[in-house]
Amino acid sequence: MQSAEIQDTVKKIKRGFSLQMNGVASGSMREKGINSYLNWGIQLPALRKIAEEYGKDYNLAIALWKENVRECKILATLIMPAERMDGQMLSLWMEQTETQEIAEYAAFNLYQYVADASIYGYLWIASDNTLAQICGYNLLACLFKKGSQPSERDINEFIDQAIAALSDKAVGVRHAAMNSLNTFAAMGELQANIVDSALKRCM
């Protein structure tokens, strides 16, 4: 699509949001602090349907991500072709992520399908940025669930960071770290023993 056509499409999508507005969900999200963006309260299944209409579209995803609208951000993660996400863009999108919800959806919808995704997962869990840590742990959990086998060095890095994160002041970080540990442990007996041993040491 050409630039003008892309902007027209973005406007059309945003008009559609107003017709699907979920006031109850939107209000609930505001109460929980998910209010950095304009928020229509539209749930993921409805956004997936919209994404299916447009398919994978790099330029449209870029334009949607730039919008200060919750649903546009999530939709961008659904229609961005994973093979077009390079390291520079991953870093940029992570820097521009302002809520835990967007960090989680980005990991689930897009980042887990990016080439060398694990590199960014391990990088982000070592970050001092709370949202980057949450995204990183969710990303690694996605990869573990798909059977991605980390190296011994990566296992040691992951376990050390995750165990330390269980004492983080941010609930979101603690939850994401524990979820990733449980997902890693579910990969097999060896992994379960590693996690069990690490948890016992920190008690």
User: With bands split at pLDDT 50, 70 and 90, how would you rate the model's confidence at 31?
Assistant: very low
| pLDDT averaged over every residue in the chain | 91
Give the residue-averaged pLDDT of 57-68.
96
| Residue 92 structure tokens | 């940029």
From CA 26, how far away is CA 53, in angstroms rounded? 24
Parse the chain into domains and list their residue ranges.
Answer: 1-80, 102-203
pLDDT value of residue 19: 72
pLDDT (mean) for 186-195: 97
Q: Provide mean pLDDT across the span 169-180.
A: 98
**Tokens representing 193?**
């023993």
Task: Please answer whether residues 81 and 115 qualify as being in contact, where contact means their C-beta atoms are separated by less than 8 angstroms.
Answer: no
Q: Is the pTM of this model over 0.85?
A: yes
- State phi, psi for 69 to the nearest 5 degrees: -135, 125
pLDDT > 90? residue 196? yes
